[in-house]
Structure 1
């Protein structure tokens, strides 16, 4: 009997035309290049019968509210050409972002507050294909020097079919090689200060809820709270007084641009970021501050991702 290998995996994701209807992704057009995959093929609830009987023992349960959970990371990179949507675009669209393409210029992803898009997933685990429908989720972004920047996705979808099927033939040309986070490749500004930073992490914090009702089943984004953490080199108060900024509840801009080549540049922007209570730490015996970030929706850009 042949074995099924852990690393042999193909994930195909395509935006829905009609919610919950299989959009039929293909290996040629919809392959997702990912890592750190953790797939829960049959999540949900259990309903115990709790019958009163003249004997002891387990009575079994009924599985209810079936759905699938898929967590994974994707490298942050460009699309290869200005005004071309990146291969990970459908994932951002399924996490509460609207996609706007400016031909020959850039592709922008802005967080929206309703009319969320969704997608369908084919997850082929070395010959067994799992289908998730109406998938939506939440995403975080991480930038750390000397490392590849990554999106971390947490997705939920309605349970479709599970069948034996050969791994698809996939096309990978739409995936662009990333560049590592560094002084040469990455520029960051926070509240008007050109940052010297050890890391930046942002999480959309979306609440993603499977709903199984009479007459309707869906995966819904019901709320979100975008937060993050910036670990920055500690400076004199004359240079940047994070304590005064935090105590005054001041809102300011965050901007990060990663990449220097047209077609492989990604920018992150938020214009009303509040700083939480700074904490002091160190790395290499050099002081730093860990700054909690609240990316509020009080400005015009809660969180914008621009691929250019």
Structure 2
């Protein structure tokens, strides 16, 4: 009887490429990620065309993939490495989504990521599935952060890469197991938030990097490119008295747009700090909601850069 492949026996190995789309011969220098979830994704995606023919009679036609590529989804804990000034294990995923990285020791050790608009790095990935693997290269993508109160926060990466057929799994012993602190729940003990100097009673905050990711397949050229970005998000907060904070004035845009700072600071189990900070955030919408019998507001967020400075927001591990 043929061996049945176990869904649970899956993991992923990643590495930043030194040359775009050029696969490494082995996993030297690659990282085995600690992940919350690996989606099945689409290991053979692509646009299709039908070979249509005129004939006497009905029926379907052959369908041809005109440019195969791979789509994968990875969810990782929203936590750092556990060491101040050391990049998180999922650093290759952030960089493959167009995030620049700056390691600094002043005034304290920290690793700072922010979006970029050129010179995006790329990723190669070994998708391991109980004895077989799909080793793909040229990967780039998008990510989103989910931070809900009394839940465990996570970052979800949606990646697109150049197609390569699955094969028998290679030896992963040359890859390094990720050093990953354990994520802590979003709550009063671990998390603080600030919207325009107001410490809102917040039940959730989300951020979507908003990359436009395009697979290109032309004569002599094949690649995955990031061609645009609009960082947006939302937050759900308890509705304050207008005298304490007038969120309606902040949201109004018919007579001028207000841009305010928004910060979410969270610690991981090793005592490290992760700070998400947008300096120019538009509160774009407001909607009353019911949360356990308490009036809350759902507020839309637009993280804006200063001109062409790519400073929509920063994600700092310190």
Q: How far off its partner does 1:2 sit? A: 1.0
Aligned to 1:5: 6
Q: After alignment, is 28-37 or 148-157 more displaced?
A: 28-37
Distance 1:55 1:157 in 2: 40
2:260 aligned with 1:252: yes
Matches within 5 A, 1:88-103: 88-103=90-105
Aligned to 2:79: 77
Give me the TM-score of the superposition, normalised by structure 1: 0.94
List per-residue Cα deviations over 1:74-121 (Å, max 9, x = no partner). Answer: 101111212211101111001110011125701110111111111001
Runs of 4+ in 1 over 2 A off after TM superposition: 23-29, 53-59, 166-173, 260-264, 298-301
Q: CA RMSD in A?
A: 1.9
Q: How far off its partner does 1:184 sit? A: 1.1
Contiguous gaps of at least 5 residues in structure 2: none
2:194 aligned with 1:186: no
Distance 1:66 1:244 in 2: 49
Native 8 Å contact 1:12 1:25 kept in 2: no
Distance change (3 Å), C-alpha of 1:25 and 1:279: farther
Q: How far off its partner does 1:143 sit? A: 0.9
Aligned to 1:220: 225
Q: How far off its partner does 1:59 sit? A: 2.9
Specify the SS of the correspondent of 2:72: strand
Q: How far off its partner does 1:173 sit? A: 5.1
Distance change (3 Å), C-alpha of 1:206 and 1:270: same
2:316 aligned with 1:306: yes
Contiguous gaps of at least 5 residues in structure 1: none
Matches within 5 A, 1:3-152: 3-23=4-24, 26=27, 29-38=30-39, 39-103=41-105, 105-152=109-156
Q: How far off its partner does 1:200 sit? A: 0.2
Native 8 Å contact 2:96 2:139 kept in 1: yes
Give me the TM-score of the superposition, normalised by structure 2: 0.91
Specify the SS of the correspondent of 1:41: strand
Distance change (3 Å), C-alpha of 1:56 and 1:284: closer
Matches within 5 A, 1:263-282: 264-282=272-290
2:239 aligned with 1:238: no
